[in-house]
Structure 1
């Protein structure tokens, strides 16, 4: 949009801008990636500016305002934080206020204190009972219906569910898919990781990523064990790599199933792309995904996907074209799909090439930044017309 002529002062209200975690990571990418000629970016964070968060890496166009709250947060603490956020917002006089589902209530006092300030709500999951409490979701529904927060979503499923909850047509809620960095597959990096992990060149590698409960890592372990057993000595050798720090129960389950050599937990890597360059197949067993960034990253590297048809994964993966999608919890279906792709090299190659083409066409970081920029420009334009 070209009729917003001045720099737009944007304020994100987030709990923390850590280097890990989906919401903080996307916020960091957006704040640091927006065009500094068009946007003046600020982030108000409830937590202190810890050294481990590497906030200096966000660059000169991002100013972080930390409220230095440490320890657990009780309702009185949230009220005090909300009042402090409102005061900071009034001082900054932004053109757009950006809140996030799950913590949006912290932005409510700022919105009430600046009634003409355009405000947007990034909806990471439908505003219903599930990942957050009934009270949190009820507040956020009220913020949309009565406090002027304009929602946008990253996936069709989240958009449509949110529209039904607030009583809107889905077309009223913009869809802004997330995006991953453009990455040229690097076979040498993949081979180096395989060698580091002691994986023979002829062994097929299935990669899964994540730690949160929604990723259903126990199911991933069981699917891996079933595939290993079904392929047996006659099938191609295969190793399942589960990347991310796991609870002790996961390793105990691997040991119980007797597949410690073939199903392995790997600590987070300095470059996750190395794992995708080493992979022949990506496995997602989540029972919920707001979008599915790791799925898109694997596809960017030319890796086909076997996954559960949940949330944004159904937007990213084209079933039967770039991989196979099964209903959540379908252990048998996931095992069968893994076996199919692991034993059919031509199918893997065809789906992998199409996967990369799909992500390059729809789900790059550039696509994401352009989508966020349009959300902010439209909001700022509404404010200037009011």
Structure 2
């Protein structure tokens, strides 16, 4: 087996992580592709053309190409509006695959809309399909209700993909449980493979040096929130906790919020900043919260390493790469007890798990770390060890390689039997 097609309709590995619709899936696809390329696979990443002047094919890494597929207008479109273009995406992708006579051994679709396109390729070309959802529509709807912008047809599509895919990849035990309970998935056809971190990007560095580089106060208790600025990430909960920390514990912590649609934070570029600034004002923490703006991945190690603690309290998180990155930098993590976070963060060992939407509970845990720097250091060291043991991208790629080999072998055996 030599050639893999990674399908990621809205999340290109070339995009700037942290901006609109660019987050963990972009990171996952980019790093998995790179690692597979290092292992000698020829990898093509199929993603939707969202700019008119993009080349058809871009060399991304050794043995890895990004293929831009024409499907709908060649401009940025919110992912919630992309579903109608997926049949065209599938047809264009199949046409490319037929022109590219070497063929593919496995299709690996990422997100349910990529699955729509992949099912067409699987039917027309007979290539086995591995499916990673990254987020499940039924779980998302439970948590977001009317704020969920995807159509109800997503549920039927996901049901079909769970039935038809040769293997479904769950990113954590909670993901597996949701697939079985909500989608009647056969556990024998589901493999749990986590996301990872790149040791070349994320490793501990001296906190004082990191703070000096970022112009942070050297001795202020500093909290980091990093990721996309969207409501489900629960950033308002973190801001309220900073207010509680001041009011109930007498600790003036500094919260740095990294993310947004531009490097310069502004309501015009990132409307969510306006809502969050109002939350900070209401929480009595406006003077304690700094909106940093989007930063490149090459800068993130400094932010993680400069922080006393990394906090992420989303309502729903299928996996959550940022807690793993923070642990890789030797920083304690306080995370919401949801989704993948409850399996990556070892409660009481590498940080704490707290309920989502519970600012007082979060403030209590922040106060404990502020009062006990030795505990925070020990948790950071334990987090680094846990990240190295369980969440390297090379380890993730090795697990995925076994998944690919299994489905390719099973499909080949089926063809022989037929």
Normalised to the residue count of structure 1, the TM-score between the two structures is 0.88
Counterpart selection for 1:156 from 161, 173, 185: 173
Matches for 1:126-165 after TM superposition, within 5 Å: 126-128=136-138, 130=141, 132-145=150-163, 147-165=164-182
SS in 1 for 2:287: coil
Q: 1:15 to 1:285 in 2, by over 3 A?
A: same
Change (3 A) 1:304 1:57: farther
Query: How far did residue 337 of structure 1 move?
Result: 1.0
Q: Does 1:29 align with 2:37?
A: no
- Please identify, of 316-325 and 65-74, the stretch whose mean Cα deviation from structure 2 is larger: 65-74
1:44 aligned onto 2:46: yes
Does the 8 Å contact 1:31/1:58 carry over to 2?
no
Q: Distance in 2 between matches of 1:52 and 1:345?
A: 49
Q: CA offset at residue 239 of structure 1?
A: 1.1
Structure 2 unmatched runs, 5+ = 18-22, 142-147, 261-269
3-state secondary structure, aligned to 1:58: strand
State the alpha-carbon separation in 1 of the partners of residues 61 and 324 from structure 2.
26
Q: 2:3 matched to which residue of 1?
A: 9
Paired residue secondary structure (1:334) = helix
1:200 maps to: 217
In the alignment, the residues of structure 2 paired with residue 347 and residue 74 of structure 1 have an alpha-carbon distance, to the nearest angstrom, of 47
Whether the 8 Å contact between 1:127 and 1:162 is mirrored in structure 2 is no
**Which residue does 2:288 correspond to in 1?**
262
Q: How large is the RMSD of aligned CA atoms in angstroms?
A: 2.5
Alignment CA distance shift 1:202-1:58 (3 Å) = same
Task: Identify which of 241, 255, 268 aligns with 1:240.
Answer: 255
| Residue among 373, 376, 387 paired with 1:345 | 373
Tell me the matched-pair count: 372
**Matching residue within 290, 307, 329 for 2:335:** 307
Q: CA deviation at 1:372?
A: 1.9
Cα displacement (A) at 1:105 = 1.2
Q: How does 1:53-68 map to 2 (within 5 A)?
A: 58-68=60-70
The 10-residue stretch of structure 1 (334-343 or 196-205) with the greater mean CA deviation from structure 2: 196-205
- Kindly state the Cα deviation for residue 29 of structure 1 after the two structures are TM-superposed: 1.1
Query: Which residue number in structure 1 is paired with residue 111 of structure 2?
Result: 101
Matched with 1:276 is: 304
1:367 to partner: Cα distance: 1.5
With the length of structure 2 as denominator, give the TM-score of the two structures: 0.82
